[in-house]
Amino acid sequence: MAITAIKGCNDILPEESGRWQYIEQAARRIFERNGFSEIRVPIMEKTELFCRSIGDTSDIVEKEMYTFIDKGENSVTLRPEGTAGVMRAYIEHKLYAQDPVAKLYYLGPMFRYERPQKGRYRQFHQIGAEVTGVNDPLVDAQVLNMLCAFFREIGLDEPTLQINSLGCPECRPAYRAALVEFLQGRLDRLCDDCKRRFTSNPLRTLDCKVAGCGEATQGAPAMLDHLCGECDDHFSSVKRYLDLTGNQYGINPRMVRGLDYYTRTTFELVTGLLGSQSAVAAGGRYDGLISQLGGPSIPGIGFAIGVERVALLLGERDFSTKPDLFIATMGADQRDMAFRLLTDLQSRGHWVELDYEGKSLKSQMRRAGKLGARYSVVLGENELQAGQASFKRMVDGVLIETPLAADEIALLLG
């Protein structure tokens, strides 16, 4: 029996890869315009890195990591997200020594052992961006504007931006206590996961997707009403700067996020078009993470975009590229000329196809049509003798007489 891919791990076939390149190239363009440079870090890290950053009681660390013991008896994990590894590298290579402000982006596969469904996979891809070293709320708005600009760049206006603040170690404990008190009388109405979260991570009960938990937590105290003065000022400034960017956003006081490293600003870009997998991109501030991982006390903020979800949102659009020219030949005598034209035109930047198997003219033309070539030409004895041929513009069938010289043909192809 043939071997199949692992459940929840997808092949990106050639017909799909144009869509992926479109997404990745748009992200690179927008990020580089904002001063971000690419960083590439390993997809495997020491397990401890994720426990310390994402949090031991998070769903990701508790249930979803691909963790194994390697042949040297080390516990390693396939990265479930990108921020932890990027910050590990930032600290390890002392990128902060020259300038604590770093603007970094990355793209690549992430791994989570989740129940696969549309928009949720076990190997999935993120495009992420991180800024370190800036407390100023202006940078929160810049990061959010960059994320919205990416979606505009690829022609999607559907995902809407929601923001929240999760406070800081100063104000969150008092809020947590108020929430625990509120939940105490409603414990029996919570799902089993939330009963567990009640002691380990009560805030997570607020964004549980189970309907009963949503009802039970109606009217729960909101973090936004418990922010300390500094967090409150920060959030107000983020909103003011965000207003200056002209991006639309809503405030979602129940947004908690599934990773423990967040402080202050958090956000998600959500869509109603992907069923329960509503977050297309998400992120936030993590002012304590770098010191928690053994680095200096430097703040950070960033986001990650889910590439599969963006690819789904782009719908039926055709992202494939087409050959500029298909050269058909009447017989074996014209194949040398056809091959020379192919290589000369390729060196001038054009994509040229010809038939490899010496098939009939009819089947060659069928292939030209199937490939969607912009132009086609048939080379026979007469064409070679005359040193010119009729090039057919495939959209409308117009014939354009052109010398059989690469420079002249390249001019025609544009």
Q: How many Cα atoms occupy the beta-carbon half-sphere of 261 within 13 Å?
A: 29
Q: Could you count the other beta carbons within 10 Å of the beta carbon of residue 269?
A: 27
Whole-angstrom CA distances from 407 to 3, 93, 373 are 49, 50, 19
Q: Smallest gap, in angstroms, from Cβ of residue 66 to ligand HAM?
A: 12
CB of 223 closer than 8 Å to CB of 122 = no
Closest residue to ligand HAM in the complex (CB): 306
| For ligand HAM, the closer CB: 194 or 310 | 310
Q: Smallest gap, in angstroms, from Cβ of residue 392 to ligand HAM?
A: 44
CB of 268 closer than 8 Å to CB of 166 = no
| For ligand HAM, the closer CB: 45 or 308 | 308
| For ligand HAM, the closer CB: 311 or 409 | 311
Q: Smallest gap, in angstroms, from Cβ of residue 289 to ligand HAM?
A: 9
CB of 76 closer than 8 Å to CB of 70 = yes
The two three-digit tokens of residue 367, written as one number = 């292939």
| For ligand HAM, the closer CB: 112 or 367 | 112
The two three-digit tokens of residue 248, written as one number = 């639309």
| For ligand HAM, the closer CB: 124 or 235 | 124
The two three-digit tokens of residue 245, written as one number = 């960017």
Q: Smallest gap, in angstroms, from Cβ of residue 331 to ligand HAM?
A: 53
Q: Smallest gap, in angstroms, from Cβ of residue 400 to ligand HAM?
A: 47
| For ligand HAM, the closer CB: 114 or 232 | 114
User: What distance lies between CA 301 and its chain's CA centroid?
Assistant: 16
CB of 87 closer than 8 Å to CB of 295 = yes
Sheet holding 123-132, edge to edge: 37-38, 102-111, 123-132, 300-306, 279-285, 263-270, 160-165, 249-251
Q: Smallest gap, in angstroms, from Cβ of residue 133 to ligand HAM?
A: 14
Q: Which residues bind ligand HAM (CB under 6 A)?
A: 81-83, 112, 114, 119-121, 124, 126, 128, 130, 258-259, 279-284, 302-304, 306, 308-309
CB of 387 closer than 8 Å to CB of 337 = no
| For ligand HAM, the closer CB: 310 or 338 | 310
Q: Smallest gap, in angstroms, from Cβ of residue 281 to ligand HAM?
A: 5
Q: Smallest gap, in angstroms, from Cβ of residue 297 to ligand HAM?
A: 18
| For ligand HAM, the closer CB: 58 or 364 | 58
CB of 328 closer than 8 Å to CB of 368 = yes
Q: What angle do CA 108, 110, 113 make, to 5 degrees?
A: 160
